[in-house]
Amino acid sequence: MSMEERERVVEALPAEVTWDEMAMPEGDLHNRGKRQAQEVLEGYFEQRRRRVYVASELPIYYPGERRFAPDLLVVLDVEPHLRGKWVVSHEGRGLDWVMEVHVGGDRKKDAEYNVRRYARLGIPEYFIYDRARERLEAYRLPSAEAREYVRMEPEQGRYTSEVLGLELQLEGGRLRFWAGNALLLAPAEMNERLRGLLDGEQRRADEEARRREEAERRLAELQAELERLKSRGP
């Protein structure tokens, strides 16, 4: 098959997942869980100027496999341009990291079937964010040749992702990412923190202006009193 023929085949592959292939919609908890994680990861790698592709529910094509669309996926060291699908034979590589967000429905798909499937496909790490149970599960391949996951164990509540170079933790009902001791914030959280800093600066400026006005008023009173004393004479 020529390069042009290959390109036509790739373009012809559907970029949408059918209703039969998709899980039932799971509402805001599901949507926010993956969206917040995606925003944090995109912001982190962009800040580090590292070429990393992060996507959500993108149709994935592995040779000889039925297509699937993970809730969240990461591929390292590739151009992060917009894509309608990920075709492994075309991109030249598979996924590096996958996370599924579970809220309701059949948990076996994420916790059993996908554990076997993603390991068989050679995806180095797989995380399950179970929002219904407020639990995080994590798996990794012990070697590049392995095709069976080993379960990760948390240390002080955090799971270390060697692929991402980050630690993951559930805290206060949210999935948190840590770079060492630094908590990675979502854009909304950064904006809120910035507004708090600006509000604090404004309050300090207002208080400083009030004190200056009070000092000027007191000085004017003292000057007026001094003038009255002078006008009385000895």
CA distance linking residue 55 with residue 82, whole number of Å = 9
pTM of the model: 0.74
CATH number, span 3-184: 3.90.1570.10
Render each residue's pLDDT in the chain as its tens digit; 234 residues: 566 655 665 565 666 656 455 555 567 888 888 999 999 999 999 999 999 999 999 999 999 999 999 999 999 999 999 999 999 999 999 999 999 999 987 788 899 999 999 999 999 999 999 998 999 999 999 999 999 999 999 999 999 999 999 999 999 889 999 999 999 998 777 666 666 565 566 677 667 778 887 888 888 887 887 777 777 766
Backbone region of residue 143 per phi and psi (left: phi > 0; alpha: psi in -120 to 50; beta: other values): beta
CA distance linking residue 168 with residue 162, whole number of Å = 11
Beta strands in the chain (DSSP E): 52-55, 60-61, 72-76, 86-87, 97-102, 125-130, 135-140, 150-151, 159-161, 166-171, 174-179, 182-184
User: 61-67: which pairs have CB atoms within 8 A and are 24 or more residues apart?
Assistant: 61/13, 61/85, 61/86, 61/87, 61/88, 61/89, 62/88, 62/94, 62/121, 63/88, 63/89, 65/121, 67/14, 67/17, 67/21
Say what the pLDDT of residue 200 is. 62
In the chain, domain spans: 3-184, 186-234
Residue 16 three-state SS: coil
Say what the pLDDT of residue 176 is. 96
Judge contact between 122 and 98, C-beta under 8 A: no
Say what the pLDDT of residue 105 is. 76
User: 2-8: which pairs have CB atoms within 8 A and are 24 or more residues apart?
Assistant: 6/90
Beta bridge partners, 150, equal: 140
